[in-house]
């Protein structure tokens, strides 16, 4: 496997064009920390704090990957799932990772049935998340 | 106060950016600025800056009315720096005219605050659908006409801009989308549609504005079927107020600055 620098891991293999990543989480500190981390790794990052913002971006922008918090509001507990469904519809080839602090086998099964490629429990070290994302994107490219 | 940070930023004073795109009248060899369309972008440096994302987001939040009020306020404030005789067009969602019974009053008050006569204004109705063409919608159109505001119907020939909407709105302007305009010079079917739209507009006593004009050949083809108002990059792109002032395309701009 070709060696990659830490900073270049957001780049696609052959073309060196950066992957575009959408992050969706209603907790601003978490969202900003993830955005800064993945930008430093070479990804082009859009960060959305609510379902409608994510969906407006997905309507107009093509993403290589989406990382979405499962439960974003107290009222609409399934907002994250709706983002997964819409993301799968708008970006059929994107990799979708669901993060949640409220995980259960049933929740994971439902997320995967709706189109998620991975289901992780919070808190998740960013390095581990990045490694998973790279693996999913690499698997897709090959 | 709304329930989301993105919407708060959009609706905050100064949150929206305004640009003006000239609509040009072509008569023979002469070209004159007919009016300016006020175009909106979201807060600079945010996800909402591109208009497509901004309007999609607001539509999903069902906050078209709040956005339209913010757009009107921002556009009229920016336009207050323009020469008094320049007509302006403002985009307004059909949903706003249906759902906001105070919108026409709001528009009147904002125009007065910026010393802009309502007779200078045209409201371009966007994203119309049968859902938004009930009695309240028709009353709003009537109220706009009563104060001298013109009516334009956007996206003629596409989506919900059907014959029913034309009859309900009886617009002063038919705005033909760039999809029909681009490449029309060499497209028999596009020209057939454009010819019929131009003919229909004449029967309505309305004028046609061709949007998205990027080639002089297309402009010439449209002139040949009777279209005399044009908007697009072959003429002028959207310009900030500052760029308008520097361009010199509007008379007496320096005198009123």
pLDDT (0 to 100) of residue B160: 67
Token pair 């999609």 is found at B56
The position carrying tokens 């010439």 is B220
Shortest Cα–Cα distance, A2 to chain B (Å): 34
Question: How many C-alpha atoms does B126 have within 13 Å on its Cβ side?
Answer: 16
Taking 50 as the threshold, does the pLDDT of residue B255 lie above it? no
CB pair distance less than 8 Å for B61 and A52: yes
By C-alpha distance, the chain B residue nearest A53 is: B57
For residue A25, pLDDT beyond 90:
yes
pLDDT, one tens digit per residue, over B128-163 is 665 566 889 999 999 999 999 999 999 887 776 678
pLDDT digits (tens, 9 = 90+) for A77-111: 568 999 999 999 999 999 999 999 877 899 899 99
pLDDT exceeds 70 at position A73: no
Contact B52 A60 (CB under 8 A): yes
Q: Which helix (H) or strand (E) holds B174?
A: strand B173-176
Distance CA(B59)–CA(A121), nearest Å, equals 32
Interchain pair A50, B4: CB under 8 A: yes
ipTM of the complex: 0.85
Enter the pTM of the model. 0.86
With an 8 Å Cβ cutoff, are B47 and A60 in contact? no
In contact, B72 and B16? CB cutoff 8 Å: no
**Contacts across the A-B interface (CB distance below 8 Å):** 39
Site of tokens 């720096």: B81
For residues B155 and B171, is the Cβ–Cβ distance under 8 A?
Answer: no
Strand, coil or helix: B164: helix
Give Cα separations from B63 to A62, A80, B2, B54 (angstroms).
Answer: 25, 21, 10, 11
Q: Do B53 and A59 touch (CB under 8 A)?
A: yes
Residue (of A120, A94, A125) closest to A107 by Cα position: A120
Question: Which residue out of A46, A47, A60, A83 would a mutagenesis test of the B interface target, given it has the greatest number of B Cβ atoms within 10 Å?
Answer: A60
pLDDT in tens, B176-207: 999 999 999 999 999 999 999 999 999 999 99
Average pLDDT value for residue range B9-26: 95
Q: Which residue has the higher pLDDT, B168 or B181?
A: B181
Average pLDDT, chain A: 86
pLDDT for the residue B12 = 92
């Amino acid at each position: 496997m070709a060696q990659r620098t830490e900073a270049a891991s957001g780049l696609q293999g052959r073309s060196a064009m950066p992957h575009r990543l959408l992050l969706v989480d209603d907790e601003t500190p978490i969202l900003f920390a993830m955005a800064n981390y993945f930008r430093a790794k070479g990804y082009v990052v859009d960060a959305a704090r609510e379902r409608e913002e994510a969906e407006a971006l997905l309507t107009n922008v093509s993403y290589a990957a989406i990382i979405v918090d499962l439960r974003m509001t107290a009222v609409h507990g399934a907002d994250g799932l709706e983002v997964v469904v819409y993301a799968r519809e708008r970006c059929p080839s994107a990799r979708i990772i669901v993060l949640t602090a409220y995980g259960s086998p049933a929740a994971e099964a439902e997320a995967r049935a709706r189109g998620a490629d991975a289901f992780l429990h919070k808190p998740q070290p960013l390095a581990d998340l990045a490694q998973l994302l790279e693996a999913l994107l690499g698997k897709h490219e090959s | 106060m709304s329930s989301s940070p993105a919407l708060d930023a959009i609706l905050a004073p100064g949150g929206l950016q305004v640009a003006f795109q000239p609509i040009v009248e072509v008569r023979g060899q002469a070209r004159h600025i007919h009016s300016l369309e006020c175009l909106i972008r979201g807060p600079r440096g945010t996800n909402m800056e591109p208009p497509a994302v901004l309007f999609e987001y607001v539509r999903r939040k069902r906050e078209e009315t709040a956005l339209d009020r913010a757009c009107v306020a921002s556009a009229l404030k920016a336009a207050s720096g323009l020469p008094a005789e320049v007509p302006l067009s403002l985009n307004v969602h059909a949903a706003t005219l249906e759902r906001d019974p105070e919108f026409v009053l709001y528009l009147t008050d904002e125009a007065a605050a910026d010393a802009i006569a309502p007779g200078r204004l045209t409201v371009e109705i966007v994203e119309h659908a049968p859902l938004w063409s009930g009695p309240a919608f028709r009353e709003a159109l009537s109220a706009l006409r009563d104060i001298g505001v013109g009516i334009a119907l956007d996206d003629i020939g596409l989506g919900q801009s059907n014959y029913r909407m034309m009859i309900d709105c009886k617009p002063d302007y038919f705005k033909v989308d760039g999809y029909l305009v681009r490449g029309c010079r060499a497209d028999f079917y596009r020209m057939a549609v454009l010819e019929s739209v131009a003919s229909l507009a004449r029967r309505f006593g309305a004028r046609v504005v061709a949007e998205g004009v990027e080639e002089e050949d297309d402009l010439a083809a449209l002139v040949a079927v009777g279209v005399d108002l044009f908007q697009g990059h072959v003429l002028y792109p959207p310009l900030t107020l500052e760029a308008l002032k520097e361009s010199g395309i509007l008379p007496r701009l320096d005198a009123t600055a």
